[in-house]
Amino acid sequence: MPDTPVAAVLLAAGGSSRFGQPKQLLEWDGRPLIAHLADVAWAAGLSPILVVLGAGAERIAPALAGRSVQLLQNYRWEHGMGSSVSLAVSALMGSPAAIFLQVDQPFITAGLLRALVTTWRNASPHRGIVVPAWEGRPGSPVLFERTFFPELAQLPADVGGRALFGAHAEQLLFYPVEDPLLLADADTPAEFARLQAARRDPLALLRPIRAVISDMDGVLWRGMSPLPGLQDFFAFLEERALKYMLVTNNANQSVTQYVEKLARLGVVTAPEHVLNSAEAAGDYLLQQAAPGTRVYVVGGPGLREALARRGFVLTAGEAADFVVVGWNPTFTWEDMAQATLLIRGGARFIGTNPDRSFPLERGLVPGAGAQLALLEAATDVRPLVMGKPEPVLYEQSMARMGVSPAETLVIGDRLDTDILGGLRLGLPTAMVLSGIHSLEDVRRSFVHPDLIFDDLAALTAAWRALDEP
């Protein structure tokens, strides 16, 4: 089953006396600073997100409208940060850990927050405090395991969570960051102006890129039609000797079928450049069960082939240890009924991807995520999902190419899968508007790609222009 999410606590109760206005409402990326950080926490998958307000709460709260956050009012905010920490801890119910963020750190990323969570989950027992550090200097935000909540709740009002570091030095785990800007804060208007000036041209993100992870449907093609710039994009990759992986949540077709489709569209590539959620599901099952294990598949030939090739027995539904669901255009009521009975009987529920819709020339049609949602409603069981925005496809792609997140660009057309997954792992992201989501969707979303282009042709042109005098 999926891990219980780590909580976020956004400490935003201060009076901002040196700013002459609420620091929480300073603009960053077109949003109030407090909204920006709440969006980052949401993109990182943290839940619940608690926001502690104090001074000027009535002015600040509307900036968070529409966001899945829980507002806490600290009426003792003038006594110090410890009063906000104590209030937040009292509201944390069932969270295994919490990351405490301050509202004046605009360069915090979803990738950093996810890295803190991953570091904690992978740590040995008794290492329950994770602190980001640059060149040995600790910073914020800080993750505290639940075992420390009682001590945090008892902190003096004028003392922050760092007071626990000395008493629990043996339980500290430092996560090194490569860029000090990630941990920079702004205590004065001059410091905030300095952080604004330090913001880089977004296109500069493309300069260190050595590899690309690109979605296919809605980026390279729509239905059977190539999208603008397809062949030129692959020519550009070859010119620059850029590594690439073509990654899709669609498990209906095999890797070979994707290679053949690209060939029909004028692009020659090899199977090792293609990875789909069917392959990811097969590898996951091999980690969980031996070949010969019974699997009931609701999905297309690509998913069935990937599982059969790994030695799993595909049943007709009479009994199964796993139910694996991928996109299936011939999905029937009987498929739904049989899968429901097996899951209710104890079979583990695996989904290839959460895409609720799928682009064809005639418009958007139901995707695998719609089928998963139907089965989840029928069984009250949440599936374990392999595809984007979960990290498996990205991590496998980077491992194949031998590259790091900072030098790998994610290209996609969906905010909720392609872009969100890249942001969570700290990869630069480029969204193209040729598929699922529009510019208006971006404006309404809490997921904010680093770069936005009309299509692949526009992205390639902008990338080429970086080297022009």
Using CA atoms of 330, 334, 335, 339 in order, give the dihedral in degrees to the nearest 10.
Answer: 170
pLDDT recorded at residue 283: 87
Catalytic residue at 217? yes
> Pick the catalytic residue: 217, 413, 416, 450?
217
pLDDT recorded at residue 468: 65
Query: Which residues, 6 or more positions from 177, have their beta carbon under 8 angstroms from its beta carbon?
Result: 112, 132, 133, 134, 139, 183
Per-residue model confidence as pLDDT tens digits over 134-190: 998 999 999 999 999 999 999 887 778 888 988 888 899 999 998 888 999 998 889
- 9 in Cβ contact with 94 (< 8 Å): no
pLDDT recorded at residue 434: 93
The reply to whether omega before 96 is within 30° of 0 (cis) is: no
pLDDT per position in the chain (469 positions), as tens?
557 899 999 999 988 778 888 999 999 988 999 999 999 999 999 999 999 999 999 999 999 998 999 999 999 899 888 899 999 999 998 899 999 999 999 999 999 999 999 999 998 777 899 999 999 899 999 999 999 999 999 988 777 888 898 888 889 999 999 888 899 999 888 999 988 888 778 888 899 999 999 999 999 999 889 999 999 999 999 999 999 999 998 887 889 999 999 999 999 999 999 999 999 899 889 989 999 999 999 988 889 999 999 999 999 878 999 999 998 888 899 999 999 999 999 999 999 988 788 767 788 888 888 999 999 999 999 999 999 998 889 998 999 999 999 899 999 999 999 999 999 998 999 999 999 899 999 988 889 899 999 999 999 999 999 876 5
Do the two domains 7-199 and 278-385 of this chain adopt the same fold? no
DSSP string, 116-164: HHHHHHHSPTT--EEEEEETTEE-S-EEEEGGGHHHHHTS-TT--TTHH
Phi and psi (nearest 5°) for 181?
Answer: -60, -30
How far, in Å, are 26, 37, 126, 416 from residue 29 at the CA level? 10, 11, 39, 19
DSSP class of residue 272 equals G
The reply to whether omega before 389 is within 30° of 0 (cis) is: yes
Reading phi first (left if > 0) and then psi (alpha if -120 to 50, else beta), residue 184 is in beta
CATH number 3.20.20.70 is the correct assignment for the domain at 203-249+389-465: no
Burial class of residue 27 (count of CB atoms within 10 Å of its CB; 0-12, 13-18, 19+): exposed
The fold of the 7-199 domain, in CATH, is: Spore Coat Polysaccharide Biosynthesis Protein SpsA; Chain A (3.90.550)
Which CATH number is 278-385 given? 3.40.50.1000
Phi and psi (nearest 5°) for 43?
Answer: -60, -30
User: For the chain, what are the domain ranges?
Assistant: 7-199, 203-249+389-465, 278-385
pLDDT recorded at residue 25: 94
pLDDT recorded at residue 39: 94
Catalytic residue at 3? no
> Pick the catalytic residue: 3, 179, 187, 215?
215
Distance CA 151, CA 86 (A): 9
